[in-house]
């Protein structure tokens, strides 16, 4: 992607054009964002009574919440969520990239498809969930990961496709034409020459799609509330008839945040390039 | 022998026609240049030869093979695009090796060939670099290297020099010609620059609005343009085209000036005269009177803009012949009679 900003050579620093006021503003913004995280982090080490005492500053941390959460099978639920996310994203990227290529190069479906593909996002999930539930019962796949994957595909795939259209628009057409003259079929040119050019976009859209799937509560709760419950469903389970188990919930929330943070950290540069690279074209 | 043969080739986009049934035979080993203003169908024609555009009607042959419905990869051609179209994720060496490897060669087998091509184009030190680390001229060389590495039947060039600066363009032009002569491979080159077409081509094909106006050796096209479009398109500065009427061996300008002319024609005529065939002198009563408006000195020669009773005219004069000629001066204007072109009211050549 030579049109995008080239990485700066190491050892050079951009001059600080923000100055003190800018740094202060950023500091305040960080505080606003991070304070709830800090509260959740501390909360996961507090007992129930300590959590209900807002004046409490110092306390003896205890691991009871974490023990409860782990015993409740939250890690298995996280594993199921990861599995659902990975399968959903894999299918979405393979099919979405081909769809996006087709829409970008052949104007498949006319200009309406370009944005119309997102139309399903406008519908409340409740409209779609009952047909899904009915289908799941008939096929006897209710309360399985399969039906969750199918439901997640309904919103992850359009988003991934839409996201990638801009990347294919930005990839010069001549390069794949060159590859075709140089001896590749159209599909081989797509695979070997076009896809590498949109790799940042695929990485960014994959993470984006994974987070959408990972965070979904609504479909998972209705389609697979039992043995196949995903992480958000389990977290919601801490809202019991005896009230919200805040401590355990704090620990469970952290379990759900950490993988997303780690993934974002490793591809943050690609993510930024991806989002800006795609955004320019819309 | 014919290397590429287009038979009544038509290209339509929906209802709009881009190429209207052209017939073209490209001779083996020759450098053919398709030239014309933008929108004339020259690039479309080239892309149809490459297989990047479908053919609406007609047939295309490469050698004896009917390639009309073949994929680009099966046509045994190579192409250089205007923006070079280097693979951004591959190094220079991998870019050059691509056409060989895409056809199943192993990297170890092609190494020698890559080095040979790189040496010929003087890009050996760049082999390990990525395209974005190269200058425009270097990228151009890599693109040419990739085109010649496989020794195809035909080279296709789509305005490959137009992204280079003027000096580099002239250098690369010479190099391209030298390379093509050396390899003896048939080449088709598209450009809108008539000067490039004149200097490069063995055969020049002038196109306009999806049809071929004229084809032939550059000197033929220059000296015997078939119509006023070709006459004014080829040559710089442009040919003077003067509207007037011929009657009994005399050509009368729209402005009223008379010029004796040997011609059996009568009626409305456009008189074409190349700027270098306009002869200026000071004093005497030969020829017709004109006023010098502007003189542009180009070093050895000068372009002189004149007015003859309201008709504008351009002359190219040796700098040494400028004595006594300056802006605002009245000069006598004559035309080299053997070099006059006459065009009928429809713009076609009449004599």
Query: In the structure encoding, which two tokens stand for residue A171, read together?
Result: 């990839």
Residue-wise DSSP of A142-193? TTSHHHHHHHHHHHHHHHHHHHHHHHHHHS-HHHHHHHHHTT--HHHHIIII
Smallest Cα–Cα separation from B38: which of B180, B193, B150, B261? B193
**Planar angle of CA B233, B235, B241, nearest 5 degrees:** 65
Chain A residues with beta carbon closer than 8 angstroms to that of B83? 172, 174
Give the one of A178, A185, A188 whose C-beta lies nearest to B81's C-beta: A178
pLDDT above 80 for A274: no
pLDDT above 70 for A270: no
Smallest Cα–Cα separation from A149: which of A238, A213, A222, A206? A213
Q: What is the mean pLDDT of residues A51-55?
A: 79
Q: Tell me what pLDDT residue A46 has.
A: 87
| Angstrom distance (rounded) from CA B5 to CA B23 | 8
Q: Are A61 and A41 in contact (CB under 8 A)?
A: no
Query: In the structure encoding, which two tokens stand for residue B3, read together?
Result: 């290397």
B195 with B247, same domain?
no
- CA of B331 to nearest chain A CA: how many angstroms apart? 54
Q: What is the mean pLDDT of residues A84-97?
A: 96
Could you say which of 3.30.70.20, 1.10.10.10, 1.10.3720.10, 1.10.10.350 is the CATH number of the domain covering A74-279?
1.10.3720.10
What's the domain range around B281? 240-343
End residue of a domain, out of B196, B216, B233: B233
Q: What is the mean pLDDT of residues A247-258?
A: 88
B292 with B223, same domain?
no
| Angstrom distance (rounded) from CA A263 to CA A211 | 10
ipTM: 0.84
Q: How many CB atoms lie within 10 A of CB B279?
A: 16
Q: Tell me what pLDDT residue A21 has.
A: 86
Q: Are B292 and B326 in contact (CB under 8 A)?
A: yes
Residue B264 belongs to a domain: yes
Distance of CA B164 to the CA centre of its chain: 17
Q: Tell me what pLDDT residue B309 has.
A: 84
Q: What percent of chain A has pLDDT over 70?
A: 88
End residue of a domain, out of B182, B213, B233: B233
Q: Tell me what pLDDT residue B345 has.
A: 87
Which single residue is written with the structure tokens 């073949």? B70
B226 with B295, same domain?
no
| Angstrom distance (rounded) from CA B209 to CA B41 | 7
Mean pLDDT (10-residue bins), chain B, 351 residues: 89 92 92 94 95 94 92 92 90 94 88 92 93 91 92 92 88 90 93 92 94 95 94 92 86 80 81 92 84 91 90 90 87 89 89 70
* Chain B residue with minimum CA distance to A199: B89
Every domain of chain A and the residues it spans:
20-62, 74-279
Chain A residues with beta carbon closer than 8 angstroms to that of B88? 1-2, 175, 197
Whichever domain contains B281, its CATH number is 2.40.50.100
Residue-wise DSSP of B204-245? EEEEETTEEEEEE-HHHHHHS-SBHHHHHHSSSSPPEEEEEE
pLDDT above 50 for A5: no
Q: Which residue has the higher pLDDT, A8 or A71?
A: A71
Quick one: pLDDT band at residue A282, thresholds 50, 70, 90? very low
Q: Tell me what pLDDT residue A149 has.
A: 96
pTM of the shown model: 0.79
Give the tens place of pLDDT for each residue, A199-244.
888 988 898 899 899 999 999 999 998 889 999 998 888 888 887 8
Q: Are A129 and A65 in contact (CB under 8 A)?
A: no
* Chain A residue with minimum CA distance to B87: A175
Q: Tell me what pLDDT residue A3 has.
A: 42
Tally of domains in chain B: 2
Whichever domain contains B157, its CATH number is 3.40.50.300
> Quick check: B153 contacting A, CB < 8 Å?
no
- CA of B47 to nearest chain A CA: how many angstroms apart? 10
Q: Tell me what pLDDT residue B78 has.
A: 93
Query: In the structure encoding, which two tokens stand for residue A167, read together?
Result: 């990347």
Q: Residue A127 burial by CB count (10 A; 0-12/13-18/19+): exposed, middle or buried?
A: exposed
Residue B76 belongs to a domain: yes
* Chain A residue with minimum CA distance to B148: A182
């Amino acid at each position: 992607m030579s049109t995008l900003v080239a990485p700066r050579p190491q050892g050079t620093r951009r001059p600080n054009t923000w100055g003190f006021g800018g740094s202060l503003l950023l500091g305040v913004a960080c505080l606003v964002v991070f304070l709830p995280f800090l509260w959740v982090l501390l909360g996961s080490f507090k007992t129930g009574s300590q959590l209900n005492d807002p004046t409490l500053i110092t306390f003896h941390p205890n691991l009871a919440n974490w023990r409860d959460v782990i015993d409740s099978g939250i890690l298995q639920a996280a594993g199921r969520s990861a599995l659902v996310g990975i399968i959903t994203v894999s299918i979405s990227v393979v099919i979405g990239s081909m769809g996006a290529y087709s829409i970008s190069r052949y104007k498949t479906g006319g200009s309406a498809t370009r944005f119309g593909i997102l139309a399903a996002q406008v519908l409340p999930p409740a409209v779609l969930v009952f047909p899904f539930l009915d289908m799941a019962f008939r096929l006897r796949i209710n309360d399985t990961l399969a039906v969750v994957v199918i439901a997640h595909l309904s919103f992850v795939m359009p988003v991934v496709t839409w996201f990638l259209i801009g990347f294919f628009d930005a990839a010069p057409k001549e390069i794949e034409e060159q590859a075709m003259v140089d001896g590749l079929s159209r599909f081989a040119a797509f695979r070997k020459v076009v896809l590498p050019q949109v790799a940042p976009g695929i990485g960014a859209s994959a993470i984006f799609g994974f987070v959408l799937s990972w965070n979904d509560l609504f479909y998972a709760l209705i389609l697979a509330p039992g043995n196949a419950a995903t992480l958000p469903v389990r977290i919601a389970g801490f809202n019991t008839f005896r009230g919200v188990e805040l401590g355990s919930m704090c620990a469970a929330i952290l379990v759900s945040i950490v993988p997303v943070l780690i993934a974002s950290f490793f591809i943050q540069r690609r993510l930024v390039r991806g989002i800006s690279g795609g955004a320019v074209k819309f | 022998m014919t290397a590429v043969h287009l038979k009544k080739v038509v290209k339509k986009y929906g209802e709009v026609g881009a190429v209207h049934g052209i017939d073209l035979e490209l001779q083996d080993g020759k450098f053919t240049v398709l030239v014309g203003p933008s929108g004339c169908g020259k690039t479309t024609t080239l892309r149809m030869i490459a297989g990047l555009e479908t053919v609406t009607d007609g047939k295309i042959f490469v050698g004896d093979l009917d390639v009309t419905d073949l994929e680009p990869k099966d046509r045994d051609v190579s192409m250089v695009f205007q923006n070079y179209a280097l693979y951004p994720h591959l190094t220079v060496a991998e870019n050059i090796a691509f056409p060989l490897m895409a056809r199943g060669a192993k990297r170890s087998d092609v190494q020698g060939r890559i080095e040979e091509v790189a040496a010929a184009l003087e890009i050996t030190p760049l082999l390990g670099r990525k395209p974005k680390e190269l200058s425009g001229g270097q990228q151009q060389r890599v693109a040419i290297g990739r085109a010649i590495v496989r020794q195809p039947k035909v080279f296709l060039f789509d305005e490959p020099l137009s992204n280079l600066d003027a000096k580099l363009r002239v250098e690369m032009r010479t190099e391209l010609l030298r390379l093509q002569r050396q390899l003896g491979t048939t080449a088709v080159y598209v450009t809108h620059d008539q000067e490039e077409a004149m200097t490069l081509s063995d055969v020049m094909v002038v196109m306009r609005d999806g049809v071929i106006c004229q084809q032939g050796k550059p000197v033929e096209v220059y000296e015997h343009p078939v119509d006023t479009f070709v006459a004014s398109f080829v040559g710089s500065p442009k040919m003077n085209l003067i509207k007037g009427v011929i009657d009994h061996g005399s050509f009368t300008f729209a402005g009223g000036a008379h010029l004796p002319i040997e011609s059996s024609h009568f009626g409305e005529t456009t008189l074409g005269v190349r700027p270098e065939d306009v002869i200026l002198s000071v004093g005497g009563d030969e020829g017709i009177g004109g006023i010098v408006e502007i003189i542009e000195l180009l070093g050895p020669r000068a372009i002189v803009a004149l007015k003859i009773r309201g008709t504008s005219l351009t002359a190219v004069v040796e700098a040494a012949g400028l004595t006594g000629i300056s802006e605002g001066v009245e000069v006598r204007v004559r035309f080299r009679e053997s070099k006059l072109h006459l065009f009928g009211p429809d713009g076609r050549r009449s004599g």
